[in-house]
């Protein structure tokens, strides 16, 4: 074989091997390192995993017309989770502002499964406050739903 072909074959083998090493092992439980980018309903989320706590941030425009009624400034959602002996749970947070007044909406979220390349969450969406007095008054959360997030990285 010519030296150039041998060098090319070696470079391809090294690149293929390096790419295979970059693949993270499948998830065995929610105690595994969950950091990375996930895809849910065609939208990307970034999870930061600090062992005891996790945070998830949208990597898309998360402020839809239904989330942002007229006259309000609305921040993207943030999901904050904690690992406890009882499981992984926390809150979906969204800040709403009307003029100088701000209210931080909070609804529960639970991580129910972590296996292979997917995690499952049970959550609902925060809603704008009913009143802006201190403390802010909130509507009852919408019904919860199950979402399956697939690793994208």
Does the residue 130 lie in any domain?
yes
pLDDT computed for residue 107 by the predictor: 96
pLDDT computed for residue 21 by the predictor: 52
Does the residue 43 lie in any domain?
yes
Which residue do the tokens 């996930």 mark?
Answer: 38
CB 102 within 8 A of CB 133: no
Q: Please check the confidence at residue 7 and state whether its pLDDT lies above 60.
A: no
Q: Please check the confidence at residue 133 and state whether its pLDDT lies above 80.
A: yes
Query: CATH number, domain at 101?
Result: 2.40.128
Range of the structural domain that residue 73 is part of? 26-151
pLDDT computed for residue 66 by the predictor: 63
pTM, 2 dp: 0.81
Which residue do the tokens 């999870």 mark?
Answer: 47
Does the residue 1 lie in any domain?
no
Does the residue 86 lie in any domain?
yes
d(CA 98, CA 139): 17
Mean confidence (pLDDT) of the chain = 86
Q: pLDDT-derived band of residue 19, with 50, 70 and 90 as boundaries? A: very low
Q: Please check the confidence at residue 12 and state whether its pLDDT lies above 60.
A: no
pLDDT computed for residue 11 by the predictor: 46
Q: How many domains does the chain have?
A: 1
Does the residue 141 lie in any domain?
yes
DSSP 96-122: EEETTEEEEEEEEEEEEEEEBTEEEEE
pLDDT tens, residue by residue, 38-88: 999 999 999 999 999 999 999 999 987 666 677 889 999 999 999 999 999
Does the residue 61 lie in any domain?
yes
**How many Å from the N-terminal Cα to the C-terminal Cα in the chain?**
37
């Amino acid at each position: 074989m010519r030296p150039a072909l041998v060098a090319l074959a070696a470079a391809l083998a090294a690149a293929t091997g390096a790419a295979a090493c970059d693949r993270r092992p499948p998830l065995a439980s929610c105690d595994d390192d969950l950091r990375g980018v996930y895809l849910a309903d065609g939208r990307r989320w970034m999870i930061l995993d600090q062992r005891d706590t996790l945070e998830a941030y949208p990597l898309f425009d998360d402020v839809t017309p239904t989330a942002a009624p007229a006259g309000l400034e609305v921040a993207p959602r943030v999901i904050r989770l904690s690992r406890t002996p009882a499981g992984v749970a926390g809150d979906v947070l969204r800040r709403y502002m009307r003029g100088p007044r701000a209210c931080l909406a909070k609804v529960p979220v639970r991580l129910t499964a972590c296996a292979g390349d997917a995690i499952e969450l049970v959550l609902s969406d925060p809603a704008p406050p009913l009143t802006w007095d201190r403390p802010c008054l909130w509507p009852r959360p919408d019904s919860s739903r199950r979402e399956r997030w697939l690793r994208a990285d």
